[in-house]
Amino acid sequence: MIRFILADLRRLWAGSIVVVLLVALATALGVSVILQERALRLGSARAGDKFDLVIGAGGSETQLVLSSVFLQPSALPLMSGDVLAKLAADPRVEWAAPVGFGDSFSGYPIVGTTRALTETISGGFSEGKVFGSEGEAVIGSSVDLAIGGLIKPMHGTIETGGHTHTELAYHVRGRLRPTGTAWDRAILVPIQAVWHIHGLEAAEEHDHDHAAEVDHHEEGVHAEGAHEDADHHAEPDPHAGLNENWTAETPGLPAILVKPKTISDAYKLRQDYRNGTTIAVFPGEVLTNLYATLGDAKQILVAVASGAQVLVAASLILVTVIHIGQRRRQIGALRAFGAPRGAIFGIVWLEFFILVAVGVGLGFTLGYGAALILSGFFSQSSGVNLPVGFAREDGMLAVILLAFAAGLAALPAVLAYRQSPAQALRV
Protein backbone atom coordinates (compact mmCIF):
# COMPACT_ATOMS: atom_id res chain seq x y z
CA MET A 1 0.00 0.00 0.00
CA ILE A 2 2.77 2.44 0.93
CA ARG A 3 4.56 1.79 -2.36
CA PHE A 4 1.35 2.45 -4.26
CA ILE A 5 0.74 5.70 -2.34
CA LEU A 6 4.28 6.97 -2.98
CA ALA A 7 4.00 6.16 -6.67
CA ASP A 8 0.66 7.97 -6.82
CA LEU A 9 2.12 11.05 -5.08
CA ARG A 10 5.04 11.11 -7.52
CA ARG A 11 2.61 10.96 -10.42
CA LEU A 12 0.56 13.82 -8.97
CA TRP A 13 3.58 15.79 -7.64
CA ALA A 14 2.34 19.25 -8.69
CA GLY A 15 -0.94 18.97 -6.83
CA SER A 16 0.81 17.40 -3.86
CA ILE A 17 3.22 20.34 -3.60
CA VAL A 18 0.32 22.81 -3.69
CA VAL A 19 -1.45 20.99 -0.86
CA VAL A 20 1.74 20.84 1.25
CA LEU A 21 2.49 24.54 0.71
CA LEU A 22 -1.06 25.60 1.59
CA VAL A 23 -0.94 23.69 4.85
CA ALA A 24 2.63 24.82 5.60
CA LEU A 25 1.92 28.53 5.13
CA ALA A 26 -1.26 28.43 7.19
CA THR A 27 0.52 26.55 9.98
CA ALA A 28 3.59 28.80 9.85
CA LEU A 29 1.44 31.90 10.34
CA GLY A 30 0.01 30.61 13.60
CA VAL A 31 3.30 29.15 14.86
CA SER A 32 5.27 32.33 14.20
CA VAL A 33 2.70 34.45 16.08
CA ILE A 34 2.87 32.14 19.11
CA LEU A 35 6.68 31.89 19.14
CA GLN A 36 7.23 35.61 18.59
CA GLU A 37 4.84 36.62 21.36
CA ARG A 38 6.49 34.21 23.79
CA ALA A 39 9.98 35.40 22.82
CA LEU A 40 8.99 39.04 23.34
CA ARG A 41 7.49 38.23 26.73
CA LEU A 42 10.50 36.21 27.92
CA GLY A 43 13.06 38.65 26.52
CA SER A 44 11.48 41.72 28.09
CA ALA A 45 11.03 39.90 31.41
CA ARG A 46 14.71 38.94 31.51
CA ALA A 47 15.68 42.53 30.69
CA GLY A 48 13.48 43.80 33.53
CA ASP A 49 15.01 41.31 35.97
CA LYS A 50 18.29 43.24 35.82
CA PHE A 51 16.69 46.07 37.80
CA ASP A 52 14.79 45.68 41.06
CA LEU A 53 13.26 49.12 41.56
CA VAL A 54 12.94 52.25 39.41
CA ILE A 55 12.13 55.63 40.90
CA GLY A 56 11.14 58.68 38.87
CA ALA A 57 9.07 61.83 38.95
CA GLY A 58 5.30 61.58 38.76
CA GLY A 59 4.04 60.50 35.36
CA SER A 60 3.61 57.34 33.32
CA GLU A 61 4.96 54.21 35.00
CA THR A 62 5.17 52.45 31.64
CA GLN A 63 7.18 55.24 30.06
CA LEU A 64 9.50 55.36 33.07
CA VAL A 65 10.32 51.66 32.65
CA LEU A 66 10.61 51.86 28.86
CA SER A 67 13.04 54.77 29.12
CA SER A 68 15.17 53.61 32.05
CA VAL A 69 15.23 49.83 31.49
CA PHE A 70 14.77 49.55 27.71
CA LEU A 71 16.41 52.90 26.90
CA GLN A 72 13.60 54.05 24.64
CA PRO A 73 14.06 57.79 23.96
CA SER A 74 11.49 59.95 25.71
CA ALA A 75 11.45 63.22 27.64
CA LEU A 76 10.85 62.27 31.27
CA PRO A 77 9.97 64.84 33.94
CA LEU A 78 12.69 65.60 36.48
CA MET A 79 12.60 64.91 40.18
CA SER A 80 14.60 66.77 42.78
CA GLY A 81 18.21 65.69 43.26
CA ASP A 82 17.75 65.32 47.00
CA VAL A 83 15.83 62.07 46.30
CA LEU A 84 19.13 60.51 45.20
CA ALA A 85 20.89 61.80 48.31
CA LYS A 86 18.23 60.26 50.56
CA LEU A 87 18.40 56.92 48.76
CA ALA A 88 22.21 56.85 48.92
CA ALA A 89 22.03 57.36 52.70
CA ASP A 90 19.19 54.86 53.22
CA PRO A 91 20.42 51.71 55.03
CA ARG A 92 17.92 49.63 53.03
CA VAL A 93 19.66 50.50 49.75
CA GLU A 94 22.70 48.61 48.46
CA TRP A 95 23.22 51.21 45.73
CA ALA A 96 21.19 53.86 43.94
CA ALA A 97 22.30 54.88 40.45
CA PRO A 98 21.00 57.98 38.67
CA VAL A 99 20.55 57.74 34.92
CA GLY A 100 20.58 60.60 32.44
CA PHE A 101 19.51 60.41 28.82
CA GLY A 102 19.34 62.59 25.74
CA ASP A 103 22.67 62.09 23.95
CA SER A 104 23.72 59.50 21.39
CA PHE A 105 26.61 58.46 19.17
CA SER A 106 26.28 56.63 15.84
CA GLY A 107 22.79 55.48 16.82
CA TYR A 108 23.87 54.19 20.24
CA PRO A 109 22.24 55.86 23.27
CA ILE A 110 24.59 57.51 25.75
CA VAL A 111 23.52 56.93 29.35
CA GLY A 112 24.95 58.90 32.23
CA THR A 113 25.20 56.77 35.36
CA THR A 114 27.57 55.62 38.12
CA ARG A 115 30.48 53.26 38.54
CA ALA A 116 28.38 51.02 40.84
CA LEU A 117 25.73 50.30 38.21
CA THR A 118 28.32 49.95 35.44
CA GLU A 119 30.29 47.37 37.39
CA THR A 120 27.25 45.25 38.34
CA ILE A 121 24.82 45.38 35.42
CA SER A 122 26.61 42.70 33.39
CA GLY A 123 28.63 40.95 36.06
CA GLY A 124 31.95 42.26 34.83
CA PHE A 125 33.93 43.33 31.79
CA SER A 126 34.94 41.35 28.74
CA GLU A 127 37.83 43.80 28.30
CA GLY A 128 39.05 46.99 29.90
CA LYS A 129 37.62 48.45 33.10
CA VAL A 130 35.16 51.01 34.45
CA PHE A 131 35.48 54.71 33.71
CA GLY A 132 37.55 56.73 36.17
CA SER A 133 37.11 60.31 34.94
CA GLU A 134 34.60 62.46 33.10
CA GLY A 135 36.25 61.90 29.73
CA GLU A 136 35.97 58.10 29.84
CA ALA A 137 33.18 55.71 28.82
CA VAL A 138 32.20 52.05 29.01
CA ILE A 139 30.42 50.41 26.09
CA GLY A 140 27.91 47.57 25.92
CA SER A 141 28.85 44.26 24.33
CA SER A 142 27.07 45.08 21.04
CA VAL A 143 28.55 48.54 20.51
CA ASP A 144 30.81 48.52 17.46
CA LEU A 145 33.73 50.43 18.95
CA ALA A 146 37.19 49.46 20.15
CA ILE A 147 38.90 50.15 23.45
CA GLY A 148 40.43 53.62 23.21
CA GLY A 149 37.91 54.74 20.59
CA LEU A 150 36.71 58.34 20.58
CA ILE A 151 33.04 59.19 21.23
CA LYS A 152 31.70 62.64 20.39
CA PRO A 153 28.24 62.88 21.99
CA MET A 154 25.36 64.25 19.97
CA HIS A 155 22.38 65.83 21.67
CA GLY A 156 19.39 63.88 20.37
CA THR A 157 19.79 62.08 17.04
CA ILE A 158 20.55 62.99 13.43
CA GLU A 159 16.93 62.22 12.52
CA THR A 160 15.65 64.74 15.09
CA GLY A 161 18.11 67.44 14.09
CA GLY A 162 20.54 66.85 16.94
CA HIS A 163 23.84 68.69 17.31
CA THR A 164 27.23 67.43 18.44
CA HIS A 165 28.58 68.58 21.78
CA THR A 166 31.98 70.24 21.47
CA GLU A 167 32.53 70.60 25.21
CA LEU A 168 33.66 67.03 25.81
CA ALA A 169 34.58 63.79 24.04
CA TYR A 170 34.76 60.37 25.67
CA HIS A 171 37.40 57.69 25.26
CA VAL A 172 36.30 54.05 25.56
CA ARG A 173 37.78 52.53 28.71
CA GLY A 174 36.03 49.14 28.86
CA ARG A 175 33.47 46.78 27.32
CA LEU A 176 30.77 45.03 29.35
CA ARG A 177 29.84 41.39 29.10
CA PRO A 178 26.60 40.59 27.23
CA THR A 179 23.42 41.08 29.24
CA GLY A 180 20.75 40.30 26.63
CA THR A 181 19.18 43.71 27.31
CA ALA A 182 19.02 47.11 25.64
CA TRP A 183 22.07 48.07 27.67
CA ASP A 184 24.22 45.94 25.35
CA ARG A 185 23.81 48.76 22.79
CA ALA A 186 24.40 51.56 25.27
CA ILE A 187 27.40 53.78 25.94
CA LEU A 188 27.77 54.39 29.68
CA VAL A 189 29.45 57.58 30.86
CA PRO A 190 29.75 59.32 34.24
CA ILE A 191 26.56 61.14 35.19
CA GLN A 192 28.73 64.11 36.20
CA ALA A 193 29.91 64.48 32.61
CA VAL A 194 26.31 64.54 31.35
CA TRP A 195 25.46 67.24 33.86
CA HIS A 196 28.49 69.30 32.95
CA ILE A 197 28.05 69.32 29.18
CA HIS A 198 24.39 70.29 29.69
CA GLY A 199 25.24 73.04 32.16
CA LEU A 200 23.77 71.29 35.22
CA GLU A 201 26.64 71.44 37.73
CA ALA A 202 25.83 70.96 41.37
CA ALA A 203 25.36 74.07 43.47
CA GLU A 204 28.38 73.50 45.67
CA GLU A 205 30.50 73.88 42.54
CA HIS A 206 28.65 76.83 40.97
CA ASP A 207 26.08 78.54 43.16
CA HIS A 208 24.78 80.76 40.40
CA ASP A 209 24.29 77.71 38.15
CA HIS A 210 22.08 76.11 40.80
CA ALA A 211 19.81 79.14 40.85
CA ALA A 212 19.41 78.91 37.08
CA GLU A 213 18.83 75.16 37.38
CA VAL A 214 15.98 75.68 39.90
CA ASP A 215 14.32 78.04 37.45
CA HIS A 216 14.58 75.32 34.79
CA HIS A 217 12.94 72.75 37.07
CA GLU A 218 10.05 75.09 37.82
CA GLU A 219 9.50 75.43 34.09
CA GLY A 220 9.61 71.62 33.63
CA VAL A 221 12.74 71.65 31.48
CA HIS A 222 14.37 68.20 31.11
CA ALA A 223 18.03 67.51 31.71
CA GLU A 224 18.54 66.30 28.16
CA GLY A 225 17.27 69.60 26.74
CA ALA A 226 18.87 72.05 29.17
CA HIS A 227 21.73 74.19 27.89
CA GLU A 228 23.28 77.18 29.68
CA ASP A 229 25.24 79.99 28.15
CA ALA A 230 28.94 79.17 28.00
CA ASP A 231 29.69 82.04 30.39
CA HIS A 232 27.48 80.52 33.05
CA HIS A 233 29.46 77.32 33.64
CA ALA A 234 33.00 76.11 33.38
CA GLU A 235 34.16 73.92 30.53
CA PRO A 236 34.03 70.20 31.42
CA ASP A 237 37.41 68.71 32.31
CA PRO A 238 37.86 65.24 30.74
CA HIS A 239 40.44 64.39 33.38
CA ALA A 240 38.30 65.48 36.33
CA GLY A 241 37.85 62.80 38.97
CA LEU A 242 34.44 61.43 39.88
CA ASN A 243 32.58 62.36 43.03
CA GLU A 244 29.65 60.00 43.60
CA ASN A 245 28.82 61.23 47.10
CA TRP A 246 25.40 62.70 46.46
CA THR A 247 24.00 65.70 48.30
CA ALA A 248 20.73 67.61 48.33
CA GLU A 249 22.25 69.99 45.75
CA THR A 250 22.45 67.23 43.10
CA PRO A 251 20.87 68.33 39.79
CA GLY A 252 17.41 67.08 38.84
CA LEU A 253 17.10 63.50 37.58
CA PRO A 254 14.74 61.68 35.20
CA ALA A 255 15.17 58.27 36.90
CA ILE A 256 17.06 56.39 39.60
CA LEU A 257 17.76 52.65 39.46
CA VAL A 258 17.80 51.17 42.96
CA LYS A 259 19.25 47.92 44.27
CA PRO A 260 17.54 47.16 47.63
CA LYS A 261 19.30 44.91 50.11
CA THR A 262 16.33 42.59 50.65
CA ILE A 263 12.94 41.87 49.11
CA SER A 264 11.29 43.39 52.15
CA ASP A 265 13.34 46.55 51.69
CA ALA A 266 12.26 46.72 48.06
CA TYR A 267 8.56 46.76 48.97
CA LYS A 268 9.10 49.30 51.73
CA LEU A 269 11.05 51.59 49.43
CA ARG A 270 8.40 51.33 46.74
CA GLN A 271 5.75 52.32 49.27
CA ASP A 272 7.81 55.21 50.63
CA TYR A 273 8.50 56.71 47.21
CA ARG A 274 5.02 56.34 45.76
CA ASN A 275 3.79 59.80 46.65
CA GLY A 276 2.75 62.95 44.89
CA THR A 277 6.35 63.88 44.09
CA THR A 278 7.83 60.59 42.93
CA ILE A 279 6.73 57.17 41.68
CA ALA A 280 8.47 53.88 42.41
CA VAL A 281 7.80 50.78 40.33
CA PHE A 282 8.94 47.21 39.96
CA PRO A 283 9.69 46.74 36.24
CA GLY A 284 8.11 43.28 36.36
CA GLU A 285 4.76 44.69 37.47
CA VAL A 286 4.72 47.23 34.68
CA LEU A 287 5.66 44.56 32.15
CA THR A 288 2.79 42.40 33.40
CA ASN A 289 0.38 45.13 32.34
CA LEU A 290 2.08 45.29 28.97
CA TYR A 291 1.77 41.52 28.63
CA ALA A 292 -1.99 41.86 29.13
CA THR A 293 -2.07 44.19 26.13
CA LEU A 294 0.16 41.83 24.19
CA GLY A 295 -2.15 39.00 25.17
CA ASP A 296 -5.10 40.79 23.59
CA ALA A 297 -3.08 41.44 20.45
CA LYS A 298 -1.95 37.82 20.43
CA GLN A 299 -5.56 36.60 20.60
CA ILE A 300 -6.43 38.76 17.61
CA LEU A 301 -3.45 37.50 15.61
CA VAL A 302 -4.16 33.88 16.58
CA ALA A 303 -7.77 34.37 15.51
CA VAL A 304 -6.59 35.69 12.15
CA ALA A 305 -4.22 32.74 11.79
CA SER A 306 -6.98 30.31 12.74
CA GLY A 307 -9.27 31.91 10.18
CA ALA A 308 -6.58 31.44 7.55
CA GLN A 309 -6.22 27.80 8.55
CA VAL A 310 -9.99 27.26 8.27
CA LEU A 311 -9.98 28.79 4.79
CA VAL A 312 -7.08 26.53 3.82
CA ALA A 313 -8.94 23.51 5.18
CA ALA A 314 -12.04 24.44 3.18
CA SER A 315 -9.99 24.88 0.01
CA LEU A 316 -8.28 21.53 0.62
CA ILE A 317 -11.65 19.82 0.97
CA LEU A 318 -12.78 21.38 -2.30
CA VAL A 319 -9.56 20.41 -4.08
CA THR A 320 -9.73 16.89 -2.68
CA VAL A 321 -13.35 16.35 -3.70
CA ILE A 322 -12.50 17.47 -7.23
CA HIS A 323 -9.43 15.24 -7.15
CA ILE A 324 -11.49 12.23 -6.09
CA GLY A 325 -13.92 12.94 -8.89
CA GLN A 326 -11.07 12.93 -11.38
CA ARG A 327 -9.77 9.61 -10.00
CA ARG A 328 -13.11 7.78 -10.24
CA ARG A 329 -11.90 5.50 -13.00
CA GLN A 330 -8.70 4.62 -11.11
CA ILE A 331 -10.68 3.82 -7.96
CA GLY A 332 -13.17 1.79 -10.01
CA ALA A 333 -10.35 -0.17 -11.60
CA LEU A 334 -8.90 -1.00 -8.19
CA ARG A 335 -12.30 -2.19 -7.00
CA ALA A 336 -12.81 -4.21 -10.18
CA PHE A 337 -9.48 -5.99 -9.57
CA GLY A 338 -10.71 -7.02 -6.15
CA ALA A 339 -9.47 -4.28 -3.87
CA PRO A 340 -11.79 -4.16 -0.82
CA ARG A 341 -13.51 -0.96 0.29
CA GLY A 342 -11.31 -0.78 3.37
CA ALA A 343 -8.16 -0.78 1.26
CA ILE A 344 -9.51 2.03 -0.93
CA PHE A 345 -10.43 4.01 2.20
CA GLY A 346 -6.94 3.46 3.66
CA ILE A 347 -5.14 4.47 0.46
CA VAL A 348 -7.07 7.73 0.02
CA TRP A 349 -7.00 8.60 3.74
CA LEU A 350 -3.29 7.87 4.18
CA GLU A 351 -2.32 9.69 1.00
CA PHE A 352 -4.12 12.87 2.08
CA PHE A 353 -2.93 12.60 5.70
CA ILE A 354 0.70 12.27 4.60
CA LEU A 355 0.42 15.48 2.57
CA VAL A 356 -1.16 17.41 5.47
CA ALA A 357 1.32 15.99 8.01
CA VAL A 358 4.26 17.02 5.84
CA GLY A 359 2.68 20.46 5.49
CA VAL A 360 2.28 20.78 9.28
CA GLY A 361 5.91 19.76 9.85
CA LEU A 362 7.10 22.21 7.21
CA GLY A 363 4.85 24.89 8.71
CA PHE A 364 6.43 24.49 12.14
CA THR A 365 9.86 24.80 10.53
CA LEU A 366 8.90 27.91 8.56
CA GLY A 367 7.19 29.46 11.59
CA TYR A 368 10.28 28.89 13.73
CA GLY A 369 12.49 30.40 11.05
CA ALA A 370 10.23 33.44 10.67
CA ALA A 371 10.22 33.99 14.43
CA LEU A 372 14.02 33.77 14.50
CA ILE A 373 14.32 36.36 11.73
CA LEU A 374 11.86 38.76 13.38
CA SER A 375 13.55 38.34 16.76
CA GLY A 376 16.93 38.99 15.15
CA PHE A 377 15.71 42.25 13.64
CA PHE A 378 14.20 43.33 16.96
CA SER A 379 17.30 42.38 18.94
CA GLN A 380 19.54 44.24 16.51
CA SER A 381 17.51 47.44 16.82
CA SER A 382 16.70 47.30 20.54
CA GLY A 383 19.49 45.19 22.03
CA VAL A 384 16.98 42.99 23.89
CA ASN A 385 17.67 39.30 23.30
CA LEU A 386 14.46 37.46 22.35
CA PRO A 387 14.76 33.69 22.99
CA VAL A 388 12.82 31.77 20.34
CA GLY A 389 12.02 28.17 21.22
CA PHE A 390 9.28 25.58 21.38
CA ALA A 391 7.48 24.73 24.59
CA ARG A 392 5.42 21.73 25.68
CA GLU A 393 2.16 23.39 24.63
CA ASP A 394 3.50 23.65 21.07
CA GLY A 395 3.62 19.86 20.95
CA MET A 396 -0.05 19.83 21.90
CA LEU A 397 -0.74 22.25 19.04
CA ALA A 398 0.95 19.87 16.62
CA VAL A 399 -1.14 16.96 17.95
CA ILE A 400 -4.34 19.00 17.52
CA LEU A 401 -3.41 19.95 13.96
CA LEU A 402 -2.61 16.34 13.05
CA ALA A 403 -5.86 15.14 14.64
CA PHE A 404 -7.72 17.75 12.59
CA ALA A 405 -5.84 16.56 9.51
CA ALA A 406 -6.84 12.96 10.25
CA GLY A 407 -10.49 13.98 10.41
CA LEU A 408 -10.16 16.10 7.28
CA ALA A 409 -8.55 13.24 5.38
CA ALA A 410 -11.48 11.00 6.26
CA LEU A 411 -13.87 13.04 4.09
CA PRO A 412 -12.35 12.17 0.68
CA ALA A 413 -11.68 8.66 1.92
CA VAL A 414 -15.38 8.21 2.72
CA LEU A 415 -16.30 9.52 -0.73
CA ALA A 416 -13.99 6.96 -2.34
CA TYR A 417 -15.25 4.23 0.01
CA ARG A 418 -18.86 4.74 -0.99
CA GLN A 419 -18.26 4.51 -4.74
CA SER A 420 -19.18 1.20 -6.34
CA PRO A 421 -17.05 -0.22 -9.19
CA ALA A 422 -19.89 0.34 -11.66
CA GLN A 423 -20.31 3.99 -10.68
CA ALA A 424 -16.57 4.60 -10.74
CA LEU A 425 -16.06 3.04 -14.20
CA ARG A 426 -19.09 4.76 -15.73
CA VAL A 427 -18.02 7.32 -18.30
Segment 234-269, tens digit of pLDDT: 566 677 778 888 888 888 899 999 999 999 999 999
Are 261 and 295 found together in one domain?
no
Tell me the pLDDT tens digit for each residue of 386-418.
888 888 888 888 888 888 888 877 776 676 656
Q: How far is CA 408 from CA 15, 59, 325, 348, 404, in A?
A: 17, 54, 17, 12, 6
Q: In a 3-state reduction of DSSP, which class is residue 125?
A: strand
Is pLDDT larger for residue 18 or for residue 231?
18
Determine the pLDDT at residue 149: 93
pLDDT band at 4 (very low <50, low <70, confident <90, very high): low
Tell me the pLDDT tens digit for each residue of 308-365.
777 777 777 776 666 666 566 566 555 555 556 666 677 778 888 888 888 889 999 9
Residue 143: pLDDT above 60?
yes
Residue 302: pLDDT above 60?
yes
Residue 139: pLDDT above 80?
yes
Give Cβ neighbours of residue 227 (< 8 Å, ≥ 6 apart): 198, 199
H or E element at residue 382? helix 341-382
Are 252 and 365 found together in one domain?
no
Residue 180's domain comprises 53-281
Determine the pLDDT at residue 115: 93
Worst-scoring range by mean pLDDT, 80-94, 104-118, 230-244, 389-403? 230-244
Give Cβ neighbours of residue 290 (< 8 Å, ≥ 6 apart): 44, 62
Are 314 and 336 found together in one domain?
yes
Are 76 and 207 found together in one domain?
yes
Of 281, 312, 336, the one marking the end of a domain is 281
Asked if 23 contacts 355 with a C-beta cutoff of 8 angstroms, the reply is: yes
Are 201 and 230 found together in one domain?
yes
Of 236, 265, 281, the one marking the end of a domain is 281
183-196: average pLDDT: 91
Are 39 and 144 found together in one domain?
no
Are 120 and 216 found together in one domain?
yes
Q: How far apart are CA 417 and CA 57, in angstroms?
A: 74
Q: What is the DSSP letter of 293?
A: H
CA-based radius of gyration for the chain: 32
Are 212 and 307 found together in one domain?
no
Of 248, 281, 314, the one marking the end of a domain is 281
Are 159 and 225 found together in one domain?
yes
Are 216 and 332 found together in one domain?
no
Give the total number of structural domains in the chain: 2
